[in-house]
Amino acid sequence: MPPGYPPAPDYPQQGGYGQPGAPFEQPPKKKSKVLPIVLISLALLLVLCVGGGTAIFLAAKNSDDDSATATSTTAPATDSTATPDATTTTEPAEDSTSNITVVEPKTLGGRPKLTDPQFAGAADELEQGLKEVPDATETVGALYGDVSKQDIVIVAAAAAKVDDPEKELDNTFLGAGIGGLKLTGITSASPGSLGGAAKCGKGAAGGADLIMCGWADKGSIGWVIWYFKSMSSAKAEFPKLRAQVEKKS
């Protein structure tokens, strides 16, 4: 520096540019309940297209002359045997703090469980599909009824945390279509005293008409499927059958 000039002030040395921070990690996507209903839909198709389905379909074909009688005698039997009215009314109202589980009843609305080997494949498919429900603690998948009376009911349910019951229920009905089970006339249904959301739709599989009703609440999701049943009678029986499967404490 030339003489006579004041010394230059000391400036702090500029630090180097830091490395860019790591990108924010995206939270993992929550698994939907759609996959299980897709698998369940495929299982329903299996019921009527393979094994036991042949028996059901032939029972319907061979009883054309008596179909009106069979239908009229089956429907009242359902209403009279679906006696868990007291059980349904004594179930606690929906409570997010409740401990919710699902159980496999010995009979469903008075119907015995179908244990014939011809239905074993469908029951196995149900169980495998239900195992895919995220965070499931308990699952139920079984078939009930009497093939000769064209009275077949399938139940599939899982105890699992459900953040948005209405959204999950909508997704399951959309998922049924993805699985090949075309449902129409989807309407809201009474969930009964257990609360939550419930819907029903009608469809067909393997040449047989069916009604599918589903429910979802904060701790469970499930479906009941009737073959050879009207929408009105299925919706009337749905809360009673659900109360046999879902339990709160």
Looking at residue 71, its pLDDT comes to 43
- pTM of the prediction? 0.69
- Expressed as residue numbers, the domain containing 148 is 34-89+98-248
The reply to whether 244 falls in a domain is yes
Looking at residue 34, its pLDDT comes to 55
pLDDT tens digits for 1-20? 556 555 555 555 555 555 55
Looking at residue 148, its pLDDT comes to 85
Looking at residue 30, its pLDDT comes to 54
The reply to whether 1 falls in a domain is no
The reply to whether 45 falls in a domain is yes
The reply to whether 162 falls in a domain is yes
Q: Domain tally for the chain?
A: 1
More confident residue, 92 or 162: 162
Looking at residue 64, its pLDDT comes to 43
The reply to whether 3 falls in a domain is no
pLDDT tens digits for 162-207? 999 999 898 888 776 656 678 899 999 999 999 999 999 998 877 7
3-state SS record for the chain: CCCCCCCCCCCCCCCCCCCCCCCCCCCCCCCCCHHHHHHHHHHHHHHHHCCHHHHHHHHHHHCCCCHHHHHHHHHHHHHHHCCCHHHHHHCCCCCCCCCEEECCCCEECCEEECCCHHHHHHHHHHHHHHCCCCCCCEEEEEEEEEHHHCEEEEEEEEECCCCCHHHHHHHHHHHHHHCCCCCEEEEECCCHHHCCEEEEEEEEECCEEEEEEEEEECCEEEEEEEECCCHHHHHHHHHHHHHHHEEEC
> Does the pLDDT value for residue 97 go beyond 50?
no
The reply to whether 141 falls in a domain is yes
The reply to whether 123 falls in a domain is yes
Looking at residue 209, its pLDDT comes to 86
pLDDT tens digits for 22-74? 444 555 555 555 555 555 655 555 555 434 444 444 444 444 444 444 444 44
The reply to whether 65 falls in a domain is yes
Looking at residue 208, its pLDDT comes to 79
More confident residue, 40 or 224: 224
